[in-house]
Structure 1
Amino acid sequence: MDANQLLELVKRYQDSKSFITNEETAKLALVVPFIKLLGYDPGFPREVRLEYAADFVQGDGKKLPDRMDFAIFDQTGAKPLIVIETKPLGTDLKSRAQQLARYLSQLPELHFGIITDGCHYLFFGDLENPNVMDPEPFFTFSLEDSKADWAKVAKFLSKFSRESFNATTLITDAENSRYRQSMIDKLSAVLKAPGENEGFLKWLTEDIYKGKRTTAVMERLAEVAKEAIEPTLLRVMGDDFLNKLKERIQRLNEGTEPPAAVEGPNVVKADSARPFETEPRAPGDDKGRATVETTEEELAFFAVVRDICGKNGHPADDILYRDTSNYFNVSFKRPTKWFVRFFGNGKRKSIVTWIPVEEAKTLAAGFEVEAAPAAFGLSRVYIETIPQVWALKALVARSLELSLTVKDEVLSGEDPRTTLKVVSSQ
């Protein structure tokens, strides 16, 4: 399985979701294709059995017949590897996972179960105690997750494929996945509110503050720690993170890694941002049109801008992007309502906004700011790395605010400097 195959399933979901009104349709439209992606043949009962029935012994000794929607077996047809239960689209899956628990408890060779509504997939195992299903899934993914790294998801899912399935190594991988997610959750909670974790705050400051730790002192250190988080993340992301990001971009350009972008409510057709008109234009296709290709860097820029807007109360679905041959456009609710543009393929990276130059200089203190070319916006701010956009969150928020005062006809073609008078007079 590779990311492109998963992206086909994502597109299938997007095209079909409005027509999926019951469990059976979800099975046929989405779950059966998913099983095929894993390399199993739903039409070959040695490998895949529909409505698989087993008798479970209750506490009173009576047998209770039960059925799973799908049971996947090894190539001999004797050993169950995975059971899959399907629910209607939109079901609270975690609360309905007890049927999986019954199977894991009474089939000694079975260690993995999946519950899904066709869109969301929750993988459960018996990692803590054999044949006792863990209360939390060790892996989840969703076909409507616009931020998903589909290459990583595909790599993980490939371990469950017909050719690669190995229960022993899978248990180790599943444990690592669960540990990793727990670490992510714990680090995220600590970084968001360092003062609420006494142990973390003590560790962070033990070699820094030598005085008596009164309540007032700890509250003061908590505030300082909170202020230190963002510069720390920018420093880390500016080095190791961006080096890895550049490597991914290089692999994408060489065609050795599939793109992670998918189509959806936040996504317009993938293109590529290009520099200002003074830079060389993108090569054309056989009809003379400029070719475009969205880069990982542009998608990273979009993710940061969307998160900034989210922290200012704007739903993620309202923030859109559209790529062009000259720049990468981010807009509000509709493509014509742009509020920030990213120029990433020139000699220097920059973003363009609706903010007048003098105000932009105030909001982007420490950055080089100049007037933007008349055709593109009002002010241009030069950046070196995408994480630096976090330091410009006030600039992004203000440009969005100003864009909402601009008429669509101005957004779509008139000289933006005409709008400066409109905005400044309000």
Structure 2
Amino acid sequence: MDFQDVIKALGDKVSRMQESIQTEEATKMAFVMPFISALGYDIFNPMEVVPEFIADLGIKKGEKVDYCIFMEGKPTIIIECKHWKEKLDVHNSQLHRYFHVTTSKFGILTNGIIYRFYTDLVEPNKMDDKPFWEFNITDLQEQTIFELKKYHKTTFSVENILSSATELKYAKEIKKIMLEELANPSEAFVKHFARQIISGQMTAKVLEPFNSLVKRALNQLISDMISDRLKNALASEEDRSSIQARVVEDTTVQPVNVEAASKVVTIELEKEAFYIVRSILRTKIDANRVTHRDTQSYFGILLDDNNRKPICRLYLEGNKKIISLLDDAKKEMRHEIQTLDDIYAHAEHLINTALSYDNK
């Protein structure tokens, strides 16, 4: 699996499992260690990832940070973990102490769901009070994955990360300020607009009607922008549908059962399986060509979103987990799997099935 698929699969896993995780240690094992592994670090190599790393503070001995990632023999990233239900705000000072004595360049404070990244942008060798970046692994955006990949072992560069850290920090603060201004416009914010509309002295009486007016106008502007984007997206979708209807001649058109479709719910396990299959196939074909369609009876993975190009079917909602492959005559061959990792055992067959459609 490539990095994007691995990290998305982990996010799906966290969403699915979090309610069953009862302790801090379980949070580390189920969420944080897989995260470190997803970044390309060998969690079983004590020369690379050191658990319970000693961070003695002066006369106070025995202080330990949960994980320390070493690069070229030097501590580079320290990670302090908490139970997934805990709020991270109260633990900031603890990571601050560890950062000071370990000579690490980056610190991560996490509960396995929220990840906060710290460094020393304000004062050298002293961790900033505020994180320069944070994200929620259960709500990953494309830009988040792009930034996170900078911490992968194969692409890690202190210089590259620091060059974007300041921008991330300021962008985060600007967004926070804008949200506060949208909710409760400050006097300075209101004056900024009032001065460009009316002349004269900006007295309290003059500004009073502008307080609510600025708030309403900005919220209306945002609503209009969202509406315009939705209209453009729908128009683009209609254009694509029109083009597909003209060029796809080999797709069988079947009536849609609206009632049945409304009962279909794609579970997290199916999404994770899809990412695994797509990561297998992307070594030979464009990953964007691999799609899925869920039905009431099975979860199907297709090539080019075409029912005539099935790659496999997955039956994951019962007690038995099954992957159904296709033989040369396109008949199903069912194989029971114990875990989703068993899908990798069928990688060659999946690739051959997908390539067979292009060969034809």
Q: TM-score range by the shorter chain?
A: 0.5 to 0.7
Aligned residue number for residue 48 of structure 1? 49
Q: Which residue of 1 aligns with 2:108?
A: 114
Give the TM-score of the pair, scaled to structure 2: 0.62
For residue 61 of structure 2, give the secondary structure of its aligned residue in structure 1.
strand
Note closer, same or farther for the CA distance 1:288–1:2 as it changes in structure 2 (3 Å cut).
Answer: farther
The answer for the alignment partner of 1:335 in structure 2 is none
Counterparts in 2 of 1:242 and 1:217: CA distance versus 1, 3 Å: same
**Cα distance in 2 for residues equivalent to 1:36 and 1:221:** 53
1: CA distance, partners of 2:155 / 2:237 = 28
| The one of 80, 97, 117 aligned to 1:85 | 80
Following superposition, the deviation at residue 287 of structure 1 comes to 10
Does structure 1 conserve the Cα–Cα contact (< 8 Å) formed by 2:119 and 2:131? yes
Q: 1:44 to 1:287 in 2, by over 3 A?
A: farther
The answer for the alignment partner of 2:128 in structure 1 is: 134
Task: For residues 43-86 of structure 1, give each alpha carbon's deviation from its aligned partner in whole angstroms, at most 9, with x where no partner exists.
Answer: 112211111113332xxxx3523211111011x3x111111111
Q: Give the aligned residue type for 1:16.
A: M
Deviation at 1:286?
7.8
Unaligned runs of 5+ in 2: 262-292, 296-360
| Cα distance, 1:244–1:43 mapped onto 2, change above 3 Å | farther
Q: Quick check: 1:154 aligned with 2:148?
A: no
Residue pair 2:69, 2:76 contacting (<8 A) in 1 also? yes
Q: Does structure 2 retain, via aligned residues, the 8 Å contact 1:107–1:131?
A: no
Deviation at 1:247, TM superposition (A): 12
Letter matched to residue 196 of structure 2: D
* Letter matched to residue 18 of structure 1: E
Verify: 1:99 aligned to 2:94, yes or no. Answer: yes
Q: Which amino acid in the other structure matches residue 166 of structure 1? A: S
Tell me which of 196, 201, 204 is aligned to 2:190. Answer: 201
Q: Which structure has more RCO (C-alpha within 8 Å, separation ≥ 6)?
A: 2
Distance 1:247 1:54 in 2: 57
Deviation for aligned residue 1:171: 1.9
Q: 2:172 aligns with which of 169, 181, 200?
A: 181
- Counterpart residue identity of residue 85, structure 1: E
Q: Deviation digits for residues 345-404 of structure 1, max 9, x if unmatched?
A: xxxxxxxxxxxxxxxxxxxxxxxxxxxxxxxxxxxxxxxxxxxxxxxxxxxxxxxxxxxx
Whether the aligned pair in 2 keeps the contact of 1:89 and 1:117 (CA below 8 Å) is yes
Offset, 1:22: 1.0
Question: In structure 1, what is the equivalent of residue 20 of structure 2?
Answer: 19
Distance (Å, rounded) in 2 between the aligned partners of 1:247 and 1:175: 38
Partner of 2:163: 172
Task: State the match for 1:30 in structure 2.
Answer: 31
Structure 2 counterpart of 1:221:
210
CA contact (8 A) 2:78 2:99 kept: no
The CA deviation string for residues 2-50 of structure 1, in whole angstroms up to 9 with x for no partner, is: 4432221122113322321112111111111101111111011221111
The structure with the greater share of residues assigned to helix is 2
Name the CA shift for 1:117/1:206 in 2 (closer, same or farther; >3 Å). Answer: same
Q: Who is 1:360 aligned against?
A: none
SS in 2 for 1:168: helix
Given residue 64 of structure 2, which amino acid in structure 1 is its aligned partner?
A: R
Aligned 8 A contact 1:283 1:291 in 2: no
- C-alpha root-mean-square deviation of aligned residues, in Å? 3.8
Identity of aligned residues (%): 28
What is the SS of the residue equivalent to 2:57? Answer: strand
**CA distance 1:17–1:226, shift in 2 (3 Å):** closer
The residue identity in structure 1 corresponding to 2:131 is: P
Q: Find the aligned partners of 1:212 and 1:248 in 2 and give their Cα distance.
A: 49
Change (3 A) 1:283 1:53: farther
SS in 2 for 1:55: coil
C-alpha change, 1:226 and 1:89, in structure 2 (3 Å) is closer
8 Å Cα contact 2:109-2:115 kept in structure 1: yes
Q: Distance in 2 between matches of 1:122 and 1:134?
A: 12
Name the amino acid aligned to 1:169.
N
Residue 206 and residue 284 in structure 1: after superposition, are their counterparts in 2 closer, same or farther (change >3 A)? farther
Which residue of structure 2 lines up, in the alignment, with residue 72 of structure 1? 69
The aligned counterpart of 1:402 is none
Query: What SS is found at the alignment partner of 2:26?
Result: helix
- Aligned residue pairs, count: 257
